[in-house]
Every structure is written in structure tokens, then in C-alpha cells.
Homo-oligomer: A and B are copies of this chain.
Amino acid sequence: MTAPARRTGGRSAAVLASIRSAVEDLVRERGAERVTIPLVAERAGVNPTSVYRRWGDAATMINDIATYRLDPSRPLPSTGSLRDDLIAWAAEIVTHYRKPVNAALLRAGAAVAGEGQSDCLRNRRLEAAQLVADSAVTVEEVVDTVIAPIVYRVIFLPDSLDDDTAVRLVDRLLPA
């Protein structure tokens, strides 16, 4: 009974991977606001109906792709120093969003955010909670001091992100 289920899982994971890759290519080529479900289905070689069944509309699809683009199951930094962990984690986020396609996905996610279910940064907040567990630092402090300035700059001032951004922001929370 389990083998067919496993096969189905493998096939739908492959379909999802090809849809994600099609969305990223099209966002890069055309800009997020001109990406439609029929275009994505054609590029991914899948039936538009199955894309519509999963997401309903292009905005929800792009937001969902933006959500899962940073692998939520990757290991978090664990150096023994909260400051070093936060710097490594923030630097990874900065590096990710300095790629124009990822910034475009975040902007597209921002456009459809604001309701509980459409929040493409939920996983980053969950990671922050893991990192600060058992410390005096709160998730809210990490959100305001580290995540928010990175996200603001990705969206509005992408050229202002550099190799020092992560250290500079974490320094405000936990000075060296």
C-alpha cells in the first residue's frame, strides 16, 4: 500500500520542482507581474489545470514559490555563540536576496502579503525563534533589528545590501 503513495510523492515533487524552476525563469525574464499560470504550465510542461488546482491564481503561486525558495529544512548555524549564529544566518539571507530573481520573488510576495496565510517570511521568523531560544534576545528584536532592515533594503534599496550588512545589523542587537 505504501509503494504507490511513495511513487506519487516522488512524481509530484518532480512536478513541483519543474514548476518552481519555470516560475523563477519567467520572473527573471519578464518580471513577476507578467507571469501567468498558462505561461508557467507551458514552460514546466504540465497541464495548466493542475497548476490552477494547486494555487488558484498567479499571485498565490508566486508567493508560495517565494516562501519556499530558502530551504526551510537546511541546518541552522550552531557555533555556540548566538552572535555568530545570527550573523551567519543573516548573511545567508542577504546573499540569497542579493540575487535579483530572489528579490523579485520577495517583492511579488510583498504585493500579496498582509493576510495570515500569505506571508513569505514566516519561515524566517520560525528560524529566528529557534536561534534565540534559551537566550535573552526575543524574536521580536530579531525581526525589528535584523530581518526588517534586510527585507526593507531588498525591496526598496537593493543596491545598499553588501557583505557587511549582516554584521552591521547584528551588532546593533549584540555588540561585539
Contact = CB atoms under 8 A, between A and B. Distances in A.
Interface residues of A, number: 30
A149 B158 contact: no
A107 B59 CA distance: 13
Contact of A143 (B111, B120, B149, B155): B149
A127 interface: no
Interface string A36-53: 000000000000000000
Nearest to A141: B172
Contacts of A120: 156
A148 interface: yes
Interface in A74-88: none
A119 interface: yes
Interface string A74-109: 000000000000000000000000000001100110
A137 to B, nearest CB: 13
Contacts of A59: 33
A24 B151 CA distance: 26
Given A32-B111, A33-B59, A104-B114, 4 more contacts: A107-B113, A114-B158, A144-B145, A148-B148
